[in-house]
Amino acid sequence: MIYYDKLIFELSAPGRKGYTLPANRYPVHAAVPGTLRRAEAPALPEVSEPDVVRHYTNLSQMNFGVDTGFYPLGSCTMKYNPKINEEIAAMPSFTGLHPLQPSETVQGALEVYWETEQALRALTGLEAFTFNPCAGAHGELTGLMIIKRYHELRGDTARTKIIVPDSAHGTNPASAAVAGFEVVEVKSLENGRIDVEALKELLGPDVAGIMMTNPNTLGLFETEIKTIAALVHEAGGLLYYDGANMNPLMGVVRPGDMGFDVMHLNLHKTFSTPHGGGGPGSGPVGVAPHLVRCLPLPRVIREADGHFSLLGAEENSAGKVSGFLGNFGVILRALAYIKMLGRQNVRRVGELSTLGANYIKECLKDVYKLPIEGVCKHEFVFDGLVNDGAREGVPGATTLDVAKRLLDYGFHAPTIYFPLLFHQALMIEPTETESKETLDRFIAVMRQIAAEAAEDPDILHNAPHDTPVRRPDETQAARNPILKAL
Ligand SMILES: *Cc1c(COP(=O)(O)O)cnc(C)c1O
């Protein structure tokens, strides 16, 4: 890999040019008024066209993406994103639409929403979906607003608490707090599942609902889900399903059948929209029949004559979190992906992502600590190295050191130090699109790193050795990023 050691401003030479503008076709009176013009020319780099091309191409190669290498970032479902999705989402017949166009002129786009909704209904067992939210956390907030509205409409205003397991994704308690609820934590058992006895203690007339993901953030299926659903419903609460972990269940098990009332999906995880750079996302929210009237509006409806229209008024709606119908381009990608897989292959997604995760886990558990034995779903969590190489005067290698060393071998790091249940958490999610050869290479590298740690942990302490940036101060890098110089 070649890394440029100069900024584009440092490559600049006075008078050098990489462009020729066409002659001005407009009369002089179209010129920018003097009062609005700069006193001095802007300080732009003066470089040749190849310099510009190399600059941006080199910059693009300093990034790591799912198109450049294996990306086992747990909880994030970094699967391959088929390129045909991009072509479809970029079709001018879609990109040229305006959300305020009359419905008669956008029947095809409305049909895309409707068809995607039908597919999501079939996959989840829920009754109806809104596409309004633009992210998973956005969907959580919407779902909680729906839960609140549901209780309000029943005249039950005493339900101020939302129960969240201690293994939950951080967005769950955050969304509950933003929606105005008090967050109550329920503990996990040694086996990583919710402590049903502890849950019973928390349930009561002040509980609006519980937020869960299944499989949970440890990649473990909550086998007591039927009991939990019955208990929560008996106490008058609703069950919210965080569907960001839907990948291993696709086509196999449905949240609606488990007893969940509300859920969101991450189209930008499970349904193959590129993510990770903060780009457009989509967190559609599905509800059981008794909550349909609380969904945000507008919603796409199919009339008896086959025409599509927008349902715009419903006094019971919980309100919305974004404009119009969310990020249409992401929904197009999801529909293309679902159609391409078909009913048969959707199920293979769940099966293969589960198989890949279990294969890696079993091949590495003699050198990385596996806190909870047994079959996992699409991801699992190690708790650091079995032998971290600690000795007199030399501290052992940590999970952070393993993650940094992986970069030297060309792999993205897994998610680290999350979930918070273990001190050295390494959360690994391979996704169904990785070949056995890739998984074997990853396993070999992880074993190599474990061997290095046992022999000389300083190799890991000083990693990465081969990247342009090595160990930034992570807090400073997040809070006070300096992006203009290496
Ligand atoms: C990614 C994720 C979320 C949040 O989704 P965003 O789109 O990032 O807001 C919520 N829960 C789980 C389990 C996740 O993995």
Residue listed under structure tokens 């990583």: 192
pLDDT confidence of 28, banded at 50, 70, 90? low
The number of the ligand 1 atom at minimal distance from the alpha carbon of 171 is 10
Averaged pLDDT for residues 116-125: 98
Give dist(CA 243, CA 249) in Å, integer.
10
Q: Which residues contact 184 (CB under 8 A, 6 or more apart)?
A: 161, 162, 163, 164, 202, 207
Under 8 Å between Cβ of 207 and 185: no
Beta strands of 119-272 (E only): which ranges? 128-130, 161-165, 182-186, 207-212, 238-243, 262-265
pLDDT confidence of 312, banded at 50, 70, 90? confident
Asked whether the predicted pLDDT for residue 13 surpasses 50, the reply is yes
| CA torsion angle 125 279 213 194 (round to 10) | -170
pLDDT confidence of 485, banded at 50, 70, 90? low
pLDDT confidence of 362, banded at 50, 70, 90? very high
Under 8 Å between Cβ of 247 and 353: yes
pLDDT confidence of 1, banded at 50, 70, 90? very low
Ligand 1: residue whose CA is nearest its atom 7: 136
Residue whose CB lies within 8 A of the most ligand 1 atoms, among 73, 144, 169, for a mutation test = 169
Cα–ligand 1 centroid distance for 138 (angstroms)? 9
The number of the ligand 1 atom at minimal distance from the alpha carbon of 281 is 7
Residues with beta carbon inside 6 Å of ligand 1?
75, 135-137, 169, 171, 213, 217, 242, 244-245, 266, 281, 283
Under 8 Å between Cβ of 114 and 122: no
Collapsing DSSP to helix, strand or coil, 183 comes out as strand
Give dist(CA 281, CA 176) in Å, integer.
20
The model's pTM is 0.90
Which pLDDT score, from 0 to 100, does residue 3 have? 57
Look at 202 and 61; give whichever has higher pLDDT: 202
Average pLDDT, the chain: 93
- The predicted-structure confidence for 399-444, as pLDDT tens digits, reads as follows 999 999 999 999 999 999 998 889 999 999 999 999 999 999 999 9
pLDDT confidence of 7, banded at 50, 70, 90? confident
Residue whose CB lies within 8 A of the most ligand 1 atoms, among 131, 266, 268, for a mutation test = 266
Asked whether the predicted pLDDT for residue 71 surpasses 60, the reply is yes
Q: How far apart are the first and last CA of the chain?
A: 16
Least reliable range by pLDDT among 201-215, 349-363, 434-448, 460-474: 460-474
Averaged pLDDT for residues 456-480: 89
Q: What percentage of the chain carries pLDDT values higher than 90?
A: 81
Least reliable range by pLDDT among 243-257, 272-286, 363-377: 272-286
Best CA proximity match to 423, nearest among 460, 392, 396: 396
Which pLDDT score, from 0 to 100, does residue 29 have? 60
Concatenated DSSP letters for 293-305?
A: GGS-S-EEEE-TT
Tell me the backbone φ, ψ of residue 92, rounded to 5 degrees.
-55, -30
Q: What angle do CA 130, 81, 409 make, to 5 degrees?
A: 130
Under 8 Å between Cβ of 383 and 371: yes
3-state helix, strand, coil in the chain (%, to 5): 40, 10, 50
Under 8 Å between Cβ of 321 and 297: no
The number of the ligand 1 atom at minimal distance from the alpha carbon of 138 is 9
Residue listed under structure tokens 């792999």: 411
Asked whether the predicted pLDDT for residue 118 surpasses 70, the reply is yes
Least reliable range by pLDDT among 276-280, 320-324, 355-359, 439-443: 276-280
Q: Identify the structural domains of the chain with CATH numbers, from first to last.
A: 1-55 (no CATH), 83-341 (3.40.640.10), 347-479 (3.90.1150.10)
Averaged pLDDT for residues 343-351: 93
Burial of 45 (0-12, 13-18, 19+ CB in 10 A): middle
Residue whose CB lies within 8 A of the most ligand 1 atoms, among 138, 144, 175, 242, for a mutation test = 242
Residue listed under structure tokens 């779903």: 377
Answer whether the bond into residue 22 is a cis peptide, omega within 30°: no
Averaged pLDDT for residues 188-207: 96
Which pLDDT score, from 0 to 100, does residue 370 have? 98
The number of the ligand 1 atom at minimal distance from the alpha carbon of 168 is 13
Q: What percentage of the chain carries pLDDT values higher than 70?
A: 97
Averaged pLDDT for residues 206-218: 96
